[in-house]
């Protein structure tokens, strides 16, 4: 589930870290860092504005012209005493001399090019540096800075490969497993929000969800022209959350609560794909903790365990959420509060894993990066067998012997706009005794990852058809597509900003 909060200030790359001056910092009355490149350009501009040569300045402040040249070129940082003399000679205050804003467009370009050439990206190219001076034509200066921007953009685009995303997802899943998918700080934040709006129990109504937004200072706007690549848009400037009444596959309460989650959790614009995924996991968790509060959900689960009647359907019905939300929430609470290890799968009807989590040692298929998503699950696992079950009203339970042990799983199928999916929760055999459906007669055996288990056709079929079949494969365009770029992958920021500009006038 994917939601986006849009900040009004866009981040820009910094090519080099400004030098810190203890003396200058004290002069400004703070410990702020001094940008020596910007300072040098400002001194040069003010000197030329007063029609002073380096020799004239040297005589006035008692420093050699060569030393002043180094300062103006941003290669040496002046001491406080010299800064004071320079300011007096140039007829400005210290604050004017240490100002952060470039004094002209050309000065801004000169500073940017100077920083770029000193940065690691330019230096890694082993190219000669260009002397940045007043004799460098403006069009050349603009072209060099533009080339630097384009080079950075292309390198960022190349870095955003599917493999990078898969590695980030694998790292995140390992982190989730280490904490048993339980985050106390997220539970605490959700509890504070619920207490603030007077939540007293039961399913979280749309009305209470709206009260949460109001409590946090946001108004809600339902629109019919939400940007196609988003499920919600948060306007932090005008404190509005834009939603659409056509929620499709998603619970509108969850869409709103996730949008709120970005604000409550203090998320900033993600700078890596890992950070983007981590924010998404945390907002998903936060929304589920609001829809299914820890205290109430844990009480129900403990009572059901005592009766040996644990059931995802009962958890789903008690809080009026989707089966998928109930399954996710079960993984948050099962190990922490019930001492039950578990695994979760969302599998497409093609057999491809869409989402997965485990802390019970089940042997999910994985690639060399450790990524599970996109892998084909064994056709004898419950998450695949359930597609062939005629009864879609009730859950399907099965014991499966795997190379990692025997697991009991409960699964059901749900149709989404992108196809039919199975949703399953599984536990090791020893924990099956706590669940309703533990008496199922269904048994299966998997030898995966042994290819002879289900990846190779049976010998009799191979004898008859090997070399005699030529299927026309369905070409999936996403296999050839590059990873979406930008802080929020796949989102057209221009479309979003135009949307906000238009609706801010309402």
Domain membership of residue 3 (yes or no) is: no
Instruction: Pick the last residue of a domain from 105, 139, 156.
Output: 156
Does the pLDDT value for residue 328 go beyond 70? yes
Domain membership of residue 303 (yes or no) is: no
* Angle subtended by helix axes 206-215 and 184-196, to nearest 10: 90
pLDDT value of position 33: 52
Domain membership of residue 263 (yes or no) is: yes
Looking up residue 91, the CATH number of its domain turns out to be: 1.10.260.40
Q: Which of 15-24, 304-313, 467-476 has the highest mean pLDDT?
A: 304-313
Q: Do both 315 and 464 map to the same domain?
A: yes
Task: Work out the average pLDDT over 245-260.
Answer: 82
Residue 5's pLDDT band, with cuts at 50, 70 and 90, is: very low
pLDDT value of position 169: 85
pLDDT value of position 489: 66
Q: Which of 153-157, 224-228, 317-321 has the highest mean pLDDT?
A: 317-321
Domain membership of residue 501 (yes or no) is: no
Across the chain, mean pLDDT equals 83
Tens-place pLDDT, residues 98-141:
776 667 788 888 888 888 887 777 777 778 888 888 788 989 88
Strand pairing partners for 408? 399, 427
Residues 6+ positions from 79 with CB-CB distance below 8 Å: 23
Looking up residue 257, the CATH number of its domain turns out to be: 1.10.10.2910
Residues 6+ positions from 418 with CB-CB distance below 8 Å: 348
Range of the domain at 270: 160-291
Does the pLDDT value for residue 42 go beyond 50? yes
Does the pLDDT value for residue 14 go beyond 70? no
Does the pLDDT value for residue 178 go beyond 50? yes
pLDDT higher for 207 or 93? Answer: 207
- Distance (Å, whole) CA 153 – CA 200: 50
Residue 247's pLDDT band, with cuts at 50, 70 and 90, is: low
pLDDT higher for 492 or 30? Answer: 492
Cβ atoms < 10 Å from Cβ of 456: 11
Q: Do both 57 and 151 map to the same domain?
A: yes
Domain membership of residue 484 (yes or no) is: no
Per the structure, the count of domains in the chain is 3
Residue 36's pLDDT band, with cuts at 50, 70 and 90, is: confident
User: CB–CB of 315/329 below 8 Å?
Assistant: yes
Q: Do both 184 and 284 map to the same domain?
A: yes
Instruction: Pick the last residue of a domain from 123, 156, 189.
Output: 156
Q: pTM above the 0.85 mark?
A: no
Q: Do both 329 and 198 map to the same domain?
A: no
Does the pLDDT value for residue 25 go beyond 60? no
Domain membership of residue 13 (yes or no) is: no
Q: Do both 445 and 347 map to the same domain?
A: yes
Tokens at 422, concatenated? 């199975």
pLDDT value of position 452: 87
Q: Do both 147 and 170 map to the same domain?
A: no
Q: Do both 405 and 321 map to the same domain?
A: yes
Tell which residue, 480, 1, 459, 486, has the closest CA to residue 230. 1
pLDDT value of position 377: 94
Instruction: Pick the last residue of a domain from 110, 131, 156.
Output: 156
Q: Do both 373 and 457 map to the same domain?
A: yes
Q: Do both 403 and 459 map to the same domain?
A: yes
Domain membership of residue 477 (yes or no) is: no
Cβ atoms < 10 Å from Cβ of 211: 16
pLDDT value of position 80: 84
Task: Work out the average pLDDT over 181-186.
Answer: 96
Q: Do both 320 and 456 map to the same domain?
A: yes
Looking up residue 408, the CATH number of its domain turns out to be: 3.30.450
Percent of the chain residues past pLDDT 90, beyond the cut: 43
Q: Do both 53 and 115 map to the same domain?
A: yes
Q: Do both 141 and 173 map to the same domain?
A: no
| Upper half-sphere CA count for residue 141 (Cβ side, 13 Å) | 18
Does the pLDDT value for residue 430 go beyond 80? yes
Domain membership of residue 483 (yes or no) is: no
């Amino acid at each position: 589930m994917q939601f986006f909060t849009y900040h009004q200030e866009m981040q820009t790359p910094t090519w080099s870290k400004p030098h810190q001056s203890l003396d200058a910092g004290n002069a400004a009355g703070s410990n702020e860092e001094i940008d020596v490149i910007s300072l040098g350009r400002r001194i040069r501009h003010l000197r030329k504005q007063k029609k002073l040569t380096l020799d004239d300045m040297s005589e006035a402040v008692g420093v050699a012209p060569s030393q002043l040249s180094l300062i103006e070129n941003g290669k040496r940082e002046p001491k406080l005493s010299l800064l004071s003399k320079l300011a007096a000679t140039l007829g400005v205050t210290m604050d004017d001399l240490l100002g952060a804003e470039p004094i002209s467009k050309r000065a801004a370009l000169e500073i940017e090019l100077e920083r770029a050439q000193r940065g690691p990206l330019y230096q890694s190219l082993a190219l000669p540096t260009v002397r940045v001076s007043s004799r460098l034509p403006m069009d050349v200066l603009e072209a060099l800075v533009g080339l630097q921007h384009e080079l950075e953009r292309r390198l960022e685009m190349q870095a955003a490969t599917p493999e990078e995303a898969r590695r980030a997802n694998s790292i995140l899943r390992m982190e989730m497993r280490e904490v048993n998918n339980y985050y106390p700080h997220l539970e605490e934040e959700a509890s504070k929000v619920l207490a603030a709006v007077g939540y007293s129990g039961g399913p979280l109504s749309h009305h209470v969800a709206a009260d949460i937004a109001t409590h946090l200072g946001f108004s809600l706007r339902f629109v019919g022209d939400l940007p196609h690549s988003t499920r919600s848009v948060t306007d932090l400037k005008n404190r509005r959350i834009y939603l659409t009444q056509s929620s499709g596959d998603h619970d509108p309460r969850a869409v709103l609560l996730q949008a709120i989650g970005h604000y409550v959790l203090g998320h900033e614009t993600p700078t890596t794909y890992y950070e983007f995924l981590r924010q998404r996991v945390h907002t998903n968790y936060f929304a589920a903790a609001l829809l299914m509060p820890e205290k109430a959900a844990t009480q129900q689960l403990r009572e059901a365990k005592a009766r040996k009647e644990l059931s995802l359907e009962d958890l789903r019905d008690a809080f009026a959420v989707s089966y998928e939300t109930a399954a996710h929430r079960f993984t948050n609470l099962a190990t922490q509060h019930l001492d039950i290890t578990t695994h979760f799968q969302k599998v497409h009807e093609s057999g491809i894993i869409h989402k997965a989590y485990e802390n019970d040692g089940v042997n999910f298929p994985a690639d060399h990066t450790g990524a599970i998503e996109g892998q084909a699950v064994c056709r004898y696992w419950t998450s695949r067998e359930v597609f062939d079950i005629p009864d879609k009203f009730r859950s399907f339970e099965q014991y499966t012997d795997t190379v990692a042990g025997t697991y009991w799983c409960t699964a059901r199928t749900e149709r989404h706009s992108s196809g039919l999916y199975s949703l399953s929760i599984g536990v090791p055999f020893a924990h099956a005794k706590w669940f309703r459906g533990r008496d199922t007669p269904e048994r299966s055996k998997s030898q995966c990852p042994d290819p002879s288990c289900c990846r190779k056709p049976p010998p009799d079929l191979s004898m008859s058809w090997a070399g005699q079949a030529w299927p026309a494969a369905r070409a999936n365009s996403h296999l050839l597509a590059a990873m979406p770029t930008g802080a929020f992958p796949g989102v057209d920021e221009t479309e979003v900003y135009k949307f906000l500009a238009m609706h801010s006038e309402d």
